[in-house]
Structure formats: C-alpha cells, structure tokens
Amino acid sequence: MTRFAIAIAITSLLALSSCANTANGLARDGREASKALDASTHRVLKAGAN
C-alpha cells in the first residue's frame, strides 16, 4: 500500500507541475500578444498621422 501511495503522490505532483507550466505558458503568450497588438496599433496610428 505504501508503494501505491507514493506512486499516486508522484503522479499527482507531475500532473500539477504540467498544469502550472501550461498556465504560465498561456499567461506569457497573452502578454506577448498584447504587446504585439499594442505595437502594431501604434505603428498604424503613426502612419495615419503622417
């Protein structure tokens, strides 16, 4: 039973770790997309002002 409990604990930790990595990746992608959209908006507005 002890080996089974250890196996379950390790599996749970791996699953939680991968979920955290996915959440961090999605947050990073969102920030990068926001910055890219902001930069392109500024370029369009600057081109329209000329």
Q: How far is CA 3 from CA 9, 16, 26, 39, in A?
A: 10, 20, 35, 54
Model confidence at 1: pLDDT above 90 = no
**Domain, as residue range, for 38:** 1-50
Alpha-carbon gap, residue 27 to 25, rounded angstroms: 5
Model confidence at 50: pLDDT above 80 = no
CA neighbor of 15 nearest in space, from 3, 7, 25: 7
pTM above 0.75, yes or no: no
Instruction: Give the pLDDT of residue 48.
Output: 84
Number of H helices, E strands in the chain: 1, 0
